[in-house]
Structure formats: C-alpha cells, structure tokens
C-alpha cells in the first residue's frame, strides 16, 4: 500500500507580501499542489494524506471546488484530510459545502474518527481543529484498539507546540500505529525513521524556512513501513554571509551578491548577512542591493572601523568622549564591550558625538 503525505500547503497565502515576486509565490503554491496530485496519480498511489492546513485560512467555495476538481482527476487514489489550525472548521462542515468526489474523505469530527479502506487493508485515523489554538495534549492517550480489523493503521496528527496540541516522539511510541503523518511544523523532520514524520510545507512560506521542501512518499507492506522525503518546491529560501572589510565598497558588495545569485540560482529567494568591519565613512545602500534580485532581507551586522584612542582624540570634549570614558576601557567584559560598541555606532550615525 503506497501513500503520499503532505501538510501545510497553505493555499491562498501570499508569501513575502509587497515583494516583486509575491504574487508569483501565491500561484506557485497552487501549482506545486496541482503537480504533486498529478504525480500521485501517475505513480498509482493508494492513499494521499493531508495532515492539516491545506488552506491558509477558511477556504472560499470556489477554492474548495478547485481542490475537489484536482482530487477528482485521480479517482483511483483515496484522499484523506483533516483541518488544521489555519483552516480550522467554522460553520458548515467541508463535506456539506460542496459535492466532493467519491475518493475524498474528510476526517472533520472534533473527536478521533477513522475511515476504512478494506481493499487496502488500511484504516486512517484523525480529527480536525475547530479553533485556532488547542493547548491540550490530545494525542497522548490515542492508541490503536487491539480489535482493529485492519492490518495497517495510520494517524493524521496536526500540532507540535504549546499552543497547537503539544506532542513529541514519546507521545506515540506505544500507540500501535504503523505510520503517523504529522502536520503543522513547516520544516521537514523525520522524528522517528519510517514511523513519525513532518513533511514540512510543500513550498517554503517565509525567509526562515530555508532548505528543501516537498512531501513524503511511503509504503506499508509485510516488511513494515518505509518512507522517504521527496524535495519538490519551485524555490528555496537561502541565507548567505558576505564578509566586509574596510576596503569593501558598494560596487564590491554588489558584485559579491551577483556572484551568489548566479552560482545558486536567481529564482531562489535570498537573505544576505553582512559581517565584518566596514570603513569608518562607508555607507551601504540596501535598497540598491535589493534591486539585484530576489533579496527578501539584507541584514547588516558590520561594525565601523575605529580606534578608541583616535576617537577620544578626534572627539575631545564631545558627548562621544564622555560616553567612552564612562567605561573602564582596560577591563571591559564581553557584554560591556558590546554595549560600548553599539553606543559608539549610534552616536557616530546620529551626529550627536559633535555636541
């Protein structure tokens, strides 16, 4: 019995809102979802499991119809899904809002329920969110009944932090399931080999979600369960550090960023961290740098080049001199040195040091 496991697709979301590529990302989320559905059909998967947050918020009827049409396009694949904290059930149940294709099965109850697939010898368990937050550890006591008529039992479970059903690998160790398909955490994580896994979001959704994104493909057989993560996203968020020296100019910085974009792919989305010592009178122009490509964030962690003795001499009688002398320069702790440096930089940038 072969299955696909996805979660946290967040259809309807527009990542990096306000950035030039933002609308493209919204379309790409739909496109990736469509492609993984088609792939499940091509590979003759038995089950397609969605562990919550298929939608970014309460879906519109037209969105439900679009999703249902995609599900209907793979009639031999059984779709099982739950609602997560973002698309939690409010008002009319999803199963009643539209006429779903015969292969679509919502586990939309607030308490644990299941759907059986005798031809697959499989029972899929799960329950849906009815609120944005659930702080109770609802999965702690869930176990497969000893009289379960199905050889294979799979649980769809959404959560994993203190506000969304706290859980850990220990929660499920003696639960008796053959596989636990998790959702809610956006970075792919296999918590226990071939047993307990987050596929992560199908597409990365913000700059902190670096690395590969995709889905999990698995199989239950007489030899047990086997799963593998499949990278699938159109783009990735990437972070790179650029080392700055006193000689680094705006042009040199632009050339360094251009090299990164060319080497690692201009279609990806980047955070660039500037580190090191910049020249005393050097100022970088972040808006010009962002025009080079898909730069979602430019973090400047550089420090100005200066000598304490030179500053004391150059700014004698100023607020800056008074500030510096308020420290015991010869016996600074690491924390005091950081405070001193930040204060000097703030005064130099504000011009207050001349008063």
Residues 83 and 176 reside in one and the same domain: yes
Could you read off the pLDDT of 60-96 as tens digits, one per residue?
999 999 999 999 999 999 999 999 999 999 988 988 9
pLDDT of residue 173: 86
Is the confidence at residue 355, as pLDDT, over 60? no
247 and 216 in a common domain: no
> In the listed set 187, 216, 231, which residue is the last one of a domain according to the structure?
231
pLDDT tens track for 221-267 = 999 999 999 999 999 999 999 999 988 989 999 999 999 999 999 99
Same domain, 249 and 209: no
Instruction: Kindly report the CATH number assigned to the domain that includes residue 65.
Output: 3.60.21.10
Three-state SS across the chain? Answer: CEEEEEECCCECCCCCCCCCCHHHHHHHHHHHHHHHHHHHHHCCCCEEEEECCCECCCCCHHHHHHHHHHHHCCCCCEEEEECCCCCCCCCCCHHHHCCCCCCEEECCCCCCEEEEEHHHCEEEEECCCCCCCECCCCCCCCCCCCCCCCCEEEEEEECCECCECCCCHHHHCCCCCCEEEEECCCCCEEEECCCEEECCECCCCCCCCECCCEEEEEEEECCEEEEEEEECCCCCEEEEEEEECCCCCHHHHHHHHHHHHHHHCCCCEEEEEEEEEECCCCCCCHHHHHCCCCEEEEEECCEECCCHHHHHHHCCCCHHHHHHHCCCHHHCCHHHHHHHHHHHHHHHHHCHHHC
Q: Choose one of 231, 249, 278: the last residue of a domain.
A: 231
> Is residue 51 pLDDT above 60, yes or no?
yes
Last-in-domain residue among 210, 231, 252: 231
Q: Which domain holds residue 311?
A: 237-354
- Has residue 210 got a pLDDT over 90? yes
- Does residue 354 register a pLDDT over 70? no
Same domain, 30 and 135: yes
What is the percent of the chain where pLDDT is above 90?
75
33 and 126 in a single domain? The answer is: yes
Same domain, residue pair 36 and 80: yes
Q: Report pLDDT for 192.
A: 95
Instruction: Write the pLDDT tens digit of every residue in 10-39.
Output: 999 999 999 999 999 999 999 999 999 999
- Specify the higher pLDDT residue, 70 or 287: 70
Residue 353: pLDDT band (50, 70, 90) is low
193 has a pLDDT exceeding 60: yes
- Same domain for 188 and 327? no
Over residues 329-334, mean pLDDT: 85
Predicted local confidence at residue 352, as pLDDT:
59
Query: Are 177 and 59 in a shared domain?
Result: yes
């Amino acid at each position: 019995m072969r299955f696909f496991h996805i979660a946290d697709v967040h259809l309807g979301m527009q990542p990096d809102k306000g950035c030039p590529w933002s609308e493209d990302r919204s379309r790409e989320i739909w496109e990736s979802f469509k492609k993984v559905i088609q792939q499940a059909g091509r590979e003759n998967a038995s089950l397609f499991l969605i562990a919550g947050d298929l939608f970014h918020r309460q879906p519109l009827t037209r969105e439900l119809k679009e999703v249902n049409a995609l599900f209907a396009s793979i009639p031999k694949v059984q779709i099982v899904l739950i609602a997560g904290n973002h698309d939690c059930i409010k008002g009319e149940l999803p199963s009643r809002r539209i006429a779903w294709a015969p292969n679509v099965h919502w586990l939309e109850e607030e308490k644990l329920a299941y759907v059986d697939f005798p031809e697959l010898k499989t029972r899929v368990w799960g329950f849906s969110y009815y609120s944005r937050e659930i702080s109770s550890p609802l999965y702690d006591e869930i176990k497969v009944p000893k009289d379960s008529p199905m050889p294979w039992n799979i649980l769809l479970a959404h959560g994993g932090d203190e506000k969304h059903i706290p859980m850990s690998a220990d929660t499920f160790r003696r639960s008796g399931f053959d596989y636990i398909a998790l959702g809610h955490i956006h970075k792919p994580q296999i918590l226990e080999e071939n047993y307990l896994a987050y596929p992560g979001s199908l597409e990365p959704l913000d700059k902190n979600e670096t690395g590969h994104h995709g889905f999990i493909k698995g199989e239950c057989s007489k030899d047990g369960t086997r799963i593998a993560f499949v990278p699938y996203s159109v783009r990735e968020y990437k972070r790179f550090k650029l080392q700055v020296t006193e000689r680094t100019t705006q042009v040199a910085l632009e050339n360094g960023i251009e090299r990164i974009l060319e080497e690692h792919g201009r279609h990806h989305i980047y955070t660039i961290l500037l580190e090191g010592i910049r020249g005393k009178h050097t100022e970088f122009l972040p808006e010009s740098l962002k025009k080079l490509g898909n730069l979602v964030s430019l973090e400047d962690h550089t420090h100005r080049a200066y000598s304490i003795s030179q500053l004391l001499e150059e700014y004698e009688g100023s607020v800056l001199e008074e500030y510096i002398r308020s420290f015991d320069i010869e016996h600074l702790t690491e924390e005091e040195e950081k405070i001193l440096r930040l204060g000097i930089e703030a005064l130099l940038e504000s011009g207050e040091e001349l008063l």
